[in-house]
Amino acid sequence: MSQFEWDDSLNVGVDRMNEQHQQIIHLINVVADDVENNENPLGSFDKLANYVVRHFQEEEKYMESHNYSSLSSHKIIHKQLLARVGQFRDSMVAGDLNTEDLFAFLRMWLKSHIKGIDQRYGIECANFQP
């Protein structure tokens, strides 16, 4: 069952980034399925984490090449998200994952990061003149 879905409210106005966000949502759903089916989510979580590392790198490159004004604070937020991802991984390995916390985090990521923070670069970079 897909718990998380991409819809136009998550549109950042950059096709490549929208596609990557859709892939992130797909990978999040695989993790959610594993958790729901009481299967160890470590493998699917690592796939998600690896993809997200690459996505953040590409997003940062995109913002850099469009002279985005809030690049440095956006990079800090990416770092914080990855630190949180690492903490969840640690608790999975230790066997004390709080699944509600994990889902709250993933929901926050979609709602406040993609919707709020990523959409801002979309708006600003759309008007970028090289």
Residue 91 or 124 with smaller CB distance to Fe ion: 124
Residue 32 or 114 with smaller CB distance to Fe ion: 114
**How many residues of this chain bind Fe ion (CB under 5 A)?**
2
Phi, psi torsion values for 11, nearest 5 degrees: -65, 125
Distance in Å, CB of 58 to Fe ion, minimum: 9
Tell me the torsion sign for CA atoms 116, 11, 35, 48: negative
Which residue of the chain is nearest Fe ion when measured via CB?
118
Task: Verify binding: residue 118, Fe ion, rule CB under 5 A.
Answer: yes
Distance in Å, CB of 42 to Fe ion, minimum: 23
Phi, psi torsion values for 5, nearest 5 degrees: -135, 145
Residue 40 or 61 with smaller CB distance to Fe ion: 61
Contacts of 26-30 with C-beta under 8 Å, sequence gap 24+, read 27/51, 28/3, 28/4, 28/106, 28/110, 29/2, 29/3, 29/4
Binding mask 27-66 for Fe ion (x = CB under 5 A): --------------------------------x-------
Residue 28 or 118 with smaller CB distance to Fe ion: 118
* Chain contacts with Fe ion (rule: CB under 5 A): 59, 118
